[in-house]
Structure formats: structure tokens, C-alpha cells
Structure 1
Amino acid sequence: MPHLQGLVSSIVSILSSIKKRPDAIQEAMKLMLDYSDVCRVYYFELQPSDEHGYLANHLFEVCAPGVEPQIDNHELQNVPMIPYFESWINAFSENKPYFGDVSTLPEPEQEVLASQGIKSILVLPVFSEAELAGFIGFDDTRRERNWTDENAELLSQAAAILGRMLAAHMVDITSQRQEQHFRMLVDMMPMASIQCATDRHIVSWNSTATSVFGYSEDEALGMNLEDMLVRNKFSNLFTGNQIEPADEPNGQPVDAETARLTAEAEPSSPPDVANDLGFTLVNICEARRKDGRIIPVRWRIRVVKNRLDQVTSYLILAEDISDELRQNQQLKESEELFRNLYERMTDGVVYQEENGKIIRANTAASTLLGLSMDQLLGRESFDPRWKAIREDGSDFPGDEHPAIVALRTGKVVQNVNMGVYNPQDASYRWLNINAIPEFHPDRDKPFRVFTLFRDVTESLLLNKQLTVQYEKFLAYAESLTIGVWLRNEKFELTFVNKALASLFAITQEEFFENDGEKYLDFVHPEDRHRVKNEHARHHRDKVDLELEWRLIRRDGEQRWVHVRLVYIETPGSEMPTSAGSMTDITELKVKMDTLQAARKEAESLSKLRMGIIEAISHEFRTPVTSIMGFARLIQENGGDSDTVDYADMIVQSTNRLYETLESILNYSNMISQNLTVRPREMELEDSLRSILENYNIKCADKGLYFQSFVPKNTLVHTDESILNSIVEKLLDNAVKFTHEGGVRLNIRTIGTKLLIEVNDTGIGIPEDMNLAVFEPFRQGSEGDARLYEGSGMGLPVVVKQTELLGGKLHHENNEFGGCRFVVEIPLEQAPVALVPETESPVSSEDDLKILYLEDNPVLQLMMKKSLPEFQFTMERSPQKVINKLETELHHVYLLDINLNNPLTGIDVCQAIRQQPDGDKPFIVAVTAKSKDYLEEHIGPHGFNAYVAKPFNHRTLKRLIASAYSLPETDS
């Protein structure tokens, strides 16, 4: 080996000339590689380990040319020294080198070293401040080398110099790691982190500082921190670790606001991470943000020094405590509110320590317990002066007091009733007590108990009274003949009376089997699911219910029962919350079934009667229409006088027959309530025109005058059919009993009333018949000597119809003879004046095209002969009419309803209305159906009007002429 002195000198020269320690260490190790003529020189750092003694980490290495480096071998990091290199540690502990051929070393060492191709090795310990810090190793991978103690001693001297440099380097690394770790912890804290040089200028500024003060990092770097402090109150902030707030220049202390902030904020700042990192809480001082807003800030400082204990910089943590101060204020307000509430509570509140001693109480507690606050505070639950008793009158031991139980068990104790002697009242006052234990976060045992109690003396007295009443009720329920049962708030069965057990033919005790659901065994299988669900709904929704079901008694007899379930609201009481009653309704059910059968039979008879009436009406109207139509043709077309007279007689007799049957049918409908009121808008004059013209003719035929006063263009809302019938029957009655003079009709509206007044100069009504004339089949003259024909149904029908419309009928004899009838009908709304429409698509009767659909050829002939001035198309098949709609639409359609065909006149009307111009034709129902049927079934299907059989051809002509604003001329 070269001379050692030259090696040491060279190492010292390198270490002193190269400033960067890692580079200097690397160069020194190269010299040692050349000096020792080995393949590798390296340095391992040793970190103490409880389990392995030390963990070795490969940090530096130099290699001879052609030798594979091991610096990147990850297996040479965190290498456990024990058990693999225990002999090395033993040698190092004595500050001795360790060397030898690998083949002669212990087996664990051979395994690790041979894997790196090492044949011989020398390792030297490195110490730092008398502590083992690492080792320098010399490997030979080319040959087995005979290391000697002399070789080791020579290299140890050079290694000692290099070791000091390595140890210093490791100290630097450790320092850097600690500083990095420190800065990382600082940056993780939610505070502004600021580093200042000794001249107070900022050299480091984190993102939280930007959020707190508003300055970006670029703006803040280089600023003087004191410029951000309000009035530079902390100009001496950086003179040491323990800083007191600076006085004002005049020697006065800091202002009261800062002092208040400091006093309020400091208690809320317990030791934290910042304290652990060496930061000292300096003060609370206001700072000015970039936007000019002043904020309270809590400042912490840490002085940074070098190895020479010289101050190099200051690391500062700043925290905006605006929210904290607001929260403190809110907390104070909440505490004040709680104190006020605490004192004003009507419930007593006390706080007791873990030994049971009362340390705090409110005014209500003092009042309820009958003690002054001085007497109350300091007293324990075990104090015998309490004189506490249970509800049964026995003593209430202190160790069973709810507060003591809560302290002992750590559990909440609720709703315990205790009688406490009140010396002020000289009586026992009953208290309901709740005790809540309180815990420290780090303790399992309560340190205090919060006890709340209220006066329930009156409530308990009331409960006792209720209990007495309840017992009386049970005795009363036991005597009832109907079944009764009770359930509590858990829906558990609590009571069943004897009558219920008798109804089921079981014992009272058996009802309590199956959790009170035994009754379901006796419910008819078809009813069981419904009954169970209804009982569950009663309990779940707290609703009252009634239901009927079949009971199968134990003896097999089936009975019908009516059950009523009632929910009883009794919060906080032991009283029942559900009551049920059961009544045997078997006999009633039989009677009801009999009545139901009778009702169904009556309804069937009523339907049969209505069917017969409808059939009679329909089958009667059609032939009468033919008879009257042809008789009128004979009247109008002349002939010899006898023929005309015969025709007159036919018309009169047919009219009499029709009116008699119509009155009987209408009255029958009304008394059986089958006549329905269907109000709609109607124009008075237009609706009554045909009636007025008819009676104008009748009066003229008898030599009487006829005067009518009907408001023009007036729309009213009522049942048109019934109103017209009332007018017609009143006029018919007046004309029938008047032989001289005449009849006057006056219709007027007053507000929402319609008045119909009919005056005649006839015979009047005898006094003894004033009421009889309104009875069916009665007249002013009766019996074999009666003077007038007719059924006597006119006025009775008028009375019923007036009542249907909600009106009233008055009558009186006129002073100079005759009679006066007044009908007063309420209207749903006031009458409306109309402006009549005059526009028409045709100008004369010749232009009108009319289609008449009628399956009776006689009526077709009668229609054609009666109205020769119109162009008629006669059809008997409804299908043919529908088929022609796409090619031709008529102006007027006269449609019979019943056509002995699956299709009816209603079907044809609907088909017309579905055409593109289907809203233009004027469609009239010409039918033998009753007016009531027409209102119900025809009105909604698109008909403009209807004419009931038998009809007057003049009436039909006027209807058509009115629809198209044609002049009315006699044919």
C-alpha cells in the first residue's frame, strides 16, 4: 500500500477544498479505493432498531473499472444487522475493524456477501458523538485477500477523517429531513404560514396566508410584516419568544378592544400542534387586509437559529379569529338564553356531582321542593331530611333516587314518580323525575347528573280518579247484554265481558289465548281476511270502524254480528286505547234481507210498470198521430159539410183521448218520482208560440177572446218541457170552464222569479171544492150529473210540476166571475235579453230540402199530404240515410227514434253531426217517446228540437220556418 501519510494529506486537502460535502466524500473514497487496491469502497448508515439492533442503508459507493456497482441494489437498503451481521456489530461496539475471506465468515454473512461476488472484505466503524453512526467497507471481488490488523489500522486512520465528514453530512441530512417534516406539518395546519428575515421582510408566504390577508405570494414577498399590523402595536414582536403587547407611545396600555379580544380568544386556544412544534402564542392583534378590512389575528412565532445559535429567520403562524370571536359571542348569548330559560322553567332542574351533592338549581326546583336556595345547594340525595316515599306509601331510599342510579349505572333514568315532603306546604308533593348522566370525553364514569322534575300531584290524583271510574265502567260493561272488549296502547287484549264470551260460546279466559287473537278462529273463513285487516287498520291508523261479519260459534251455529271499533285518545295513561262492541244482528239481518227482497220486487214492478207505460205511450201516440193528421187534412181540404163536421169530431175526440192519457202518464211518473227536472236555457216566446197559437184557435172556436202577454227575446233557465206543460194545462182548464168572455195569459219576470198568471171569465171554483180540484180525477161538478168532460188530472199535474220546479201555485175566484191562477217559479239565474238571429241559408220554402225518416208508411203519407209546400225525401231505412250523407246533406232532418231496426234515429243524428258540415242541418226528433225521455236521451245527442207524437202539422211547419227565418204562411 502507498504511504499512509500521503493518503491522509490528500483526503484532508479534498475535504477542505470541495465545498459540497457529498462531492468531497465521493472524491475521498476514490483515493481510498486507489490506496487499498480493492474493487469497491462504500459507506452504510446505521439506524438503531429495537428488533434488529441496527438497519443498514447503502449511501455512498466507488468502484474499480469493470466492477458492477451495488449502490442501486434495493436489497442493500434497510438491511437488518441482526441476525445476518451480528459479529460485525460486536466488533463495532468495541471500535474494532472486521475483516476476512468470505469463505471463512459465518454462514448468514456468506449468503449475503457471496450474492454480490465478494471474496474478501474489510469494514471499519464510523462514530458520531461517541455513537455508532455507520461503517466504511472495502470489497475485493477478484481474489481472496489476506487482510491484516496492520492494514486495518492504517485504513482506520484515513477512515476516521472521512467518518467525521460522513457523520457531519448525516447530521445535515437529518436536519434537512426534520426541517422538511416541520414545514410539511406547518403547511398542513389551517393557518397562514409566513417566514420573515431578521429585518421583518417576508421571504415565505403560503396559500392560506393569501386567503387570510388578501395578498398573493408575489405581492407579499419582500413586504415588511409590520406594515400589515394596525398602528404597529407589535413593533417588538420579533425580539424574543415571550412577547408582551407593546404600549402606546404615550405609555398607556393597549386599547380596551385589543385587550378584550385577547381575553376572549386566549382561553379558546388550548395546547395544539403549533405548540408541539415550538410555536409560542404571542398575542392577539388586529391586522389590515389588502382590501382595507381590519381583522383580529392570533399570532404564533418560532425563532429559527443556525448551529451557532444565531437567529436566521422567524417562522410565524397567523390565524383569522373573526369567526371564532363571533362564535364565542353567540355562545355567550346562547348561554345567557339558556340561563334565562333555566330560571324561567316551571320544571325543576338541579345539577348534582358524582357524590350526589346538589351544586346548582333553578328557582322552580326551590319552589317545588319547598326549600330556599341556601337550603337546597349542598344537600345530597342520601340526606334523610328529604322524607321521600313511593306511590304505595313506602320509603324511597336515597340510593334508589333516579339521580344516584344514573350516576351509578351511567344510564338515563326516566319517568320515576316520587313523593317528596314539602315543608312550605306541610304536605307531600308528587314529582315525576328524569335523570341524565354527564360524562367527560376521556372517562367512562359520569362526573355529574342533570335531574329534571315536574309536579304531577294533580295528574296522579286524576289518574286515581280515572282508575276508579274505569273499574266502575268494567262493572257496568260486565252487566251489558252486548259483547264488549278493551285493548291497551300496545293493542293487547285487557278485558272481555261475559256477553261476548257467551256470544262465542267460549270462556272469557280463552279470549286471551294467541295474544288476544283467539276470536279470529271463530270468524267465517270468507270474512276472516277482511276482519283481520280492518282490525289492523283500526290499530295502525287510529280510526273508528264499523263492520259486519259472520260468527261461527263453538257449537257450530252461524250468527251475523255488527262490530264497532272505537279509538280512545289517552296519552300517558294506563287506560285502554281501543274499545270494541259486538251485537248479534242475525234476526235483524233476516228482516233486512226480507225487506231487501221486497224492495227489489218493488223495483222490478216499478220497472215493469214504467215499461208498460212507455209501451202504451209509444204505441198510442203513433196511431193517434195518423188519425189526427188525416182528420186535419180533411178539415183543411174541405168537402161536404158533414165530412168536415165528422173530421172536427175525430180531432176533438182524439185530442181528448190524448190529453187524458198524457195527464195520467205524467201524474204517474211524478208520484213515482220518475220525472227528472232538466233545466236549460230557453227563449220564452219561441218556446210557447205553438201553445199560444193552439189556444188562440181553441178560444176562437168557442167564441172567446184570447189575450197573451209574453216577453220577447227573453232567455230563462228552467225545465222547458215542464214549464210548457204548466202553461198548457192552465190554459186548457181556463178554456174548458169558460163559455163567455175569454182567457188572458200574462207571463213576466221579476228578478229571479218567473210569474205565470191565467185569468178567465168562467164559472170559477165552488168554495166547497177549493181543495178537491187539486186532487186526481176530481172536478167542480162530479158524479152522474157532472157538466164537463175530462179526467180531472189537469190541476193535480200542474201542482206536482210546480213543486218539481220549486215553485208555488195560488188561485182565487175573480170578483166579477171566473178564476185566477198564479204560478211562481224560481229561476236559477236572472233572465237574459236576446237579439234574434236573422241570417238564413235559404230564402223560401221551395229551397228547403227535407228528409223524413219514418218506418210507418201511413205517417209518411200523412206528412207529405200535410206539408205539400216542402220538398220531402222519404226514407224508412236508417242505414240508407247514413250512406247518402257523404254525397248529400239536407237542410232539415225529421227523424223518428224507434225504427224497428238495430239503428235508431239517434244513431242517424250522430252520423250527421260527424260530417264536415254536420253542424249546419236542422235536426228534429219526431217521436212517440215521452218528453222526459226526450230530454234525457235526445238532447245530448245533437238534436236541435223535438216534436212529440201526435203533432200538429202547423206546429211542425212553424218550427221549420222559425229555424230558417222563413215567413209563416198558411198552406
Structure 2
Amino acid sequence: MTTSVFGYYPPYQFLNDFGEVEGLFIDYLELIEKKIDYKFKKHKYTYWNNVIEDIKVGRIDMILEIQETKERAPYLNFYAQLFESQHVIVTKEDSDIYTIADLTNKTIVTPKGYAIRETLEEEFPGIKIEIEENEVECLRALSAGKYDAYVGAKAAINYFIQAKNFKDLVIITETPYYYSPGLGVRKDNEMLNNIIEKATESISFSEQNELFDRWLLKKVKPFYLKFSFWLFILTIMFIMLFVNMFLNRYLKYKIKERTHALQLAKEAAGQSSLLKTSFIHNISHEIRTPLNSILGFSELIKKEGNLSADQQNHMEKVIHSGKQLIYIVDDVLEISSLQTKEVTTHAEEVNLIDIFKKIVYYFKPKADDKKIKLSFYKQANLKEDLVKVDKQRLIIIVNKLTDNAIKFTAQGEVSITYEKDPQYIIVTIADTGIGIKSDQKELIFDSFLQLENDISRTFSGLGLGLSIAKENTLVLGGKISFESKENIGPTFTVKLPYQAVSSQAQVDIWFEADSNTLNYTVLVAEDVKINFLLVNSILKKFIPFNFTVLHAVNGKEAVDFAQRNPNIDLVIMDIRMPVMDGYEATRIIKKMRPELTILAHTAYSSDKDIEAALNAGCAEVISKPIEIDFFKTTVKKYLLPESVNLQ
């Protein structure tokens, strides 16, 4: 039986110093051969299109590295998807392409027979796609200005751009598509399919990991691509031909030694990055946990305590300082997640006018303290405000830009304006502040940057706001720009893609609440006693509800409560608890009682944490430290009928 070998795709398959093909998939094939005690005949190919033609007509029985597509599914079975490499967009440095949406009406090039062509044609029916023989030819034609962009796997593109010295080409952005190859076996070869299926299933996780460590963590660059090597060899050949073998062996040893050192350095850097992210994540949780009770009880005292004017003022300062601390910690955690690409997006239906009104309401006290006018405008003929967009990231972007504008404006006005075109939400934040010098415009989006020492002494903060706004804009596939001159306040413009949503009339039905109809049982799963006491205090004073509150100190106890008490109407679930965590407890409870609403109440509030809680079955996530008004609004939303509102 015969398999293809394609030696032009490092580090997966490539020609080594002796013209032999090696790489991740070659080692994987050898592992299969060892398992089945059989050696495949290897047919070496130069052009990928020939591989596809030969598998169709039966000249070969298996392709060693191929991605599953709809076109290939009728004649191939696919096994052992070993990894994923994200597809990226490559353009010339002066291109006007920034996101995948910008590929419309552009000419794209891909190698002949590659799966990404089929994906792009399916996702963008009107796109114009041309083909070249291989990756190098695609990049060479792009560099010559023949095409507008090239889309391909990130790992291979990085390698070829460096190896072939395409200095005028850059990776613009990542796409939502991935190169995820495995083995492809002809469907009509039943015996080979049975063998490959059993062989791949018998390969252990540790055996696969060993292959990944060997190849995916190394930077494979054959030494014959280095000019210095050939200059050295030619010089030595003219001086002493008889020492050629010795020097060649010595050079190979040094390259192997250096590659190993680079591998260790990459592993150490990756481990350091993971430790940093984990440390920041845990610090955020540890700070949020005590601040939850500090801010929560402070809010209760402020709202319900019989305090003098001075005491009220002192309490407001305590609450403000606590929120500032959380704000700083959240900024550090957010920029860490963005820089390590550990972010996800979640589009939902939102009302833009509500979002911007809340943002203005939130920042108005801060603007009033500085005697600055804070204004909000929308496009005059804008009738439809319902859109589908990542609400949380939209709020983060506008919050950071508004906070920055107020911070650097001593007098005058900060204005927020938004409008829509068929593709984008366009948000403009302008101020009459200190402005930005022309030589500093390229630096303002850098993390932890504050321009000039005298300014940094005047305006406090870590300097993360603009960087967070920019990174979140890019995550959503948008664009951010600004115009400014020194002593003339800047105008920031953000363009975010969105999906239109049909508006629906909403009718509120008001009624006089009868406290006898609002008796509910709430289970609070919380291992920290003071946090439970805070939630209990809020619920007990939540007029006009009458709550019976049950307390579980771990996830297992919460499951037992839910099983024994069918009258429980709502569960407020902490995530980090002993014996059984909140994720597992939520999954078990939702399996027993799918209709029961569970709200996560946690100090872990990163994108991954929120996504994990929602995937486990939680209806919504309430972050610590608790915001009493938001907490009450959320509880009310899930307890009352949809057509009923309480004032």
C-alpha cells in the first residue's frame, strides 16, 4: 500500500539536509508502521495538485497530511487530526485590508488544491480567488503586486516569509478558519481503513505529545538556506577538501545543539507566560473576594444606615476607592488576556441607546466633579437601535475612551456620538483636553504608557485604557483611529461590525405587587461565610419579595439541597468551593432539574470563566464584588414573569 510524501511544508513535512523528507507527519507514519508491523511505500510529490489527482484515481491509497472538506469527503475517510494552525491574511505593508470583511471585491491567491480555497468560496460566494502552484509562488506573486492578499496557515506562512526574505509582506490579522490536517484514506479500501482506524486509536496521548514536543516547539530552518554556511563551505573547500566531512558533522552538531537550546528557551518563555496569566488571574480572585464583602456591606450601610452627611461622604469615598482598585485589577487582567489571545467573543441582541445612556449615566458624576459637560448624540435619522454585537466588549471600548477623555480634559466638553451604516457601528468620542503631540501619536496605544513625566504626575493611572480599547476593537474585527493636535483635544473614532436585528414592540404591564404572591426559596451555595451573609442580607431586605434562604457550603451540599427541596426557585452558585466546585454542581443540578435557574456569583470573571459558567448551565454571571442594584435586577428578571415589572 502506498502513501504520499510531500516535502515542502515545514515543520510537518520537509526535505532535510540529505534530501530526505522528515517532519511531524513522517514520524507519525513511522509510529503507525511500528504499531501494525508494516512499511508503506512512499511516493514523493513536488506539487500538491498531483497528490489530489493520484488519490482520486487510486495511484496511492493514503495521503499523509490533508484537511477534511466537503469536496474530499465523497472519496476519502479522515483520521487523526493532530493539531490546528489558524489561517491568517497576508498583504503588502501598504494594503488597505485590515479584517476578513475587507476581502470583499479583492483578489485573493491560494495554492492549487488547498482546502482554504473551498472554505473561502463557501463563506464568501462573491470573492475572487486565483491559484498558484505552492505557498512560495503565492507569496512571490503577492509581493510583485499581482494579488491583494494571500490566506494560509500561520505556521507555514511565518516560515516562508522569513526563509524567502519577503520583507514587504506582513500578517495583517487572523481569520476564524483553521488548518487542521490528518490522514486521508480512500473510502473503497476497506482493509486499510480498518487498519488505520485501529492504529490511530492505539496511539496514546503521551506518544502524540512526544511528537508535538519534537516538532511543533522547534523552529525548523534547514542550514542550506543560510548564506553564511555556503560561504564557509566554499572557503574550506578551496583550502582543505579532505576536512569537509569532519566540518560538516561538526556544523550539524552545532545546529542540533542550538535548536535544542531554542526549544528549551521557547518552553521556558511559554511556561513563564502561563504562570504570569495564572498569577494575575488568581490575584484578581483573591482581591475580589474580600472586596465583595467590603463594598457590599458598605453599599447596604449607605442605603439603609442612619448616617450623617459626613458619614455618607466617607462611605462614598470607601466605595469609590474599592471600585477603583477593582478597576485597576480588571485592567491588568484584561490586557494580559488580550496579549496572550485568551479571549472569546459573544454576540447578543442589544439596544444601543440603552447602552450609551448607561455609559453617560455612569461617567456623569466624574464629569460633574471636574465641571466638564458630558454630552451624548446619535445620528438624527437613526430609527433602529437594536443590533447584534458583543455587548461587553462594546461597553469596555466606549468606557475606556470616555474615561481617558474625561481624565485629560480640564475644562470644556466630552461628547459621545454614534451612528450606523449598513456594516458598522461608528462611535466617536471627542474632548477639549490637552491633545496629543504629533511625535507621540504612534505610542498612545502602547500598554502601561503615559506620555511625558509632567503629564503622568498630573494624571494618575496605569496607562492601559487606550491599549485595551484598541485590542478589543481588533478582537471584534473593527478599526480604531484618532485625530489630534497638541493643545486641541483628540477625536477617537471606532468602527465595529454588527448584525442588524428586527425591532419588536415591547409592552410593560404594571401591577400592584401582592407580597403574598412573591414568596420564593433561594439556595445560596457559598463557602465563605461573610459572602453568604452579604447575599442573605440583600435578599432579606429585597422589598416586596419574601425570600426563604438556604445555605450550602460546597457544591455537593448544593446538589443535595436541590434534590431534597423541589420548592427551590433559584440557585445562586459560587464557583470556587471545596469538595465539588460550582461548575460540576451546576451540571448535576441542571440534569436533575433543567427548568431551575442558576446564577453564577464568582470572583472569577474573565472571558473563559464566564464562558465556562454559561456552558455548565448558568443563566447569567454576577461578578464579585457585588453591585447591589445589578444583583437585584438580575434576580428579579429570572423570578418574575416576562410580562410583569416591579417598580
**Equivalent residue runs for 1:629-708 within 5 Å:** 629-636=296-303, 637-684=305-352, 691-700=359-368, 702-708=370-376
**Equivalent residue runs for 1:264-275 within 5 Å:** none
Deviations 1:439-459 (A, max 9, x none): xxxxxxxxxxxxxxxxxxxxx
Opposite residue 310 of structure 2, the aligned amino acid is D
**SS of residue matched to 2:388:** strand
1:909 aligns with 2:581: no
Contact 2:509/2:645 (CA < 8 Å) preserved in 1? Answer: no
> Which residue of the partner structure matches residue 791 of structure 1?
462
Instruction: Supply the distance in 1 between the matched residues of 2:497 and 2:453 (Cα, whole angstroms).
Output: 35
Deviations 1:116-167 (A, max 9, x none): xxxxxxxxxxxxxxxxxxxxxxxxxxxxxxxxxxxxxxxxxxxxxxxxxxxx
1:754 aligns with 2:429: no
**Aligned match for 1:883, one of 548, 560, 563:** 560
Instruction: Supply the distance in 2 between the matched residues of 1:909 and 1:749 (Cα, whole angstroms).
Output: 40
Q: Report the CA distance shift for 1:603/1:660 in structure 2 as closer, same or farther (over 3 A).
A: same
Opposite residue 851 of structure 1, the aligned amino acid is L
**SS of residue matched to 2:40:** helix
> Which residue of the partner structure matches residue 184 of structure 1?
none
Shift of 1:825: 0.9
Shift of 1:689: 6.9
1:624 aligns with 2:291: yes
Opposite residue 958 of structure 1, the aligned amino acid is T
Shift of 1:945: 1.7
**SS of residue matched to 1:833:** coil
Instruction: Supply the distance in 2 between the matched residues of 1:684 and 1:764 (Cα, whole angstroms).
Output: 28
> Which residue of the partner structure matches residue 598 of structure 2?
923
Shift of 1:802: 0.9
1:932 aligns with 2:607: yes
Shift of 1:727: 2.0
Contact 2:302/2:312 (CA < 8 Å) preserved in 1? Answer: yes
**Equivalent residue runs for 1:333-732 within 5 Å:** 533-535=39-41, 541=59, 587=253, 589-636=256-303, 637-684=305-352, 691-700=359-368, 702-708=370-376, 714-732=385-403
Shift of 1:823: 0.8
**Equivalent residue runs for 1:171-186 within 5 Å:** none
**Equivalent residue runs for 1:142-221 within 5 Å:** none
Shift of 1:818: 4.2
Instruction: Supply the distance in 2 between the matched residues of 1:525 and 1:544 (Cα, whole angstroms).
Output: 16
* Bigger relative contact order, structure 1 or 2 (CA pairs below 8 A, ≥6 apart): 2
TM-score, with structure 2 as normaliser: 0.55
**Equivalent residue runs for 1:114-133 within 5 Å:** none
1:853 aligns with 2:525: yes
Deviations 1:584-638 (A, max 9, x none): 9964555444433333333322222222122111111111222222333343335
Shift of 1:953: 1.1
Shift of 1:936: 2.9
**SS of residue matched to 1:789:** coil
Shift of 1:726: 0.9
Deviations 1:39-68 (A, max 9, x none): xxxxxxxxxxxxxxxxxxxxxxxxxxxxxx
Instruction: Supply the distance in 2 between the matched residues of 1:599 and 1:906 (Cα, whole angstroms).
Output: 33
TM-score, with structure 1 as normaliser: 0.38
Q: Report the CA distance shift for 1:735/1:638 in structure 2 as closer, same or farther (over 3 A).
A: farther
Shift of 1:793: 0.9
Structure 2 unaligned blocks of 5 or more: 1-15, 21-29, 45-53, 66-219, 223-247
Instruction: Supply the distance in 2 between the matched residues of 1:823 and 1:525 (Cα, whole angstroms).
Output: 52
Contact 2:291/2:322 (CA < 8 Å) preserved in 1? Answer: yes
Structure 1 unaligned blocks of 5 or more: 1-480, 486-523, 548-559, 563-582
**SS of residue matched to 1:902:** coil
What RMSD, in angstroms, separates the aligned Cα atoms of the two structures? 4.3
Opposite residue 877 of structure 1, the aligned amino acid is N
Deviations 1:651-677 (A, max 9, x none): 222222222222122112222222233
**SS of residue matched to 2:363:** helix
Instruction: Supply the distance in 1 between the matched residues of 2:583 and 2:281 (Cα, whole angstroms).
Output: 18
**Equivalent residue runs for 1:832-843 within 5 Å:** 832-836=502-506
**SS of residue matched to 2:469:** helix
Opposite residue 318 of structure 2, the aligned amino acid is I
**Equivalent residue runs for 1:16-415 within 5 Å:** none
Q: Report the CA distance shift for 1:715/1:944 in structure 2 as closer, same or farther (over 3 A).
A: farther
Opposite residue 777 of structure 1, the aligned amino acid is F
Shift of 1:839: 7.8
Q: Report the CA distance shift for 1:689/1:843 in structure 2 as closer, same or farther (over 3 A).
A: farther
Instruction: Supply the distance in 2 between the matched residues of 1:527 and 1:595 (Cα, whole angstroms).
Output: 30
Instruction: Supply the distance in 2 between the matched residues of 1:746 and 1:848 (Cα, whole angstroms).
Output: 43
Q: Report the CA distance shift for 1:643/1:803 in structure 2 as closer, same or farther (over 3 A).
A: same
Q: Report the CA distance shift for 1:819/1:783 in structure 2 as closer, same or farther (over 3 A).
A: closer
Instruction: Supply the distance in 1 between the matched residues of 2:554 and 2:510 (Cα, whole angstroms).
Output: 30
**SS of residue matched to 1:951:** coil
**SS of residue matched to 1:786:** helix
Opposite residue 861 of structure 1, the aligned amino acid is L
Instruction: Supply the distance in 2 between the matched residues of 1:898 and 1:842 (Cα, whole angstroms).
Output: 40
Shift of 1:690: 5.5
Contact 2:434/2:486 (CA < 8 Å) preserved in 1? Answer: no
Opposite residue 580 of structure 2, the aligned amino acid is L
> Which residue of the partner structure matches residue 575 of structure 2?
897
Q: Report the CA distance shift for 1:700/1:844 in structure 2 as closer, same or farther (over 3 A).
A: farther
> Which residue of the partner structure matches residue 863 of structure 1?
535
**SS of residue matched to 1:774:** coil
**SS of residue matched to 1:885:** helix
Contact 2:598/2:618 (CA < 8 Å) preserved in 1? Answer: yes
> Which residue of the partner structure matches residue 873 of structure 1?
549
Instruction: Supply the distance in 2 between the matched residues of 1:634 and 1:783 (Cα, whole angstroms).
Output: 40
Instruction: Supply the distance in 1 between the matched residues of 2:568 and 2:365 (Cα, whole angstroms).
Output: 33
Instruction: Supply the distance in 1 between the matched residues of 2:443 and 2:31 (Cα, whole angstroms).
Output: 61
Instruction: Supply the distance in 1 between the matched residues of 2:31 and 2:626 (Cα, whole angstroms).
Output: 63
Instruction: Supply the distance in 1 between the matched residues of 2:514 and 2:286 (Cα, whole angstroms).
Output: 36
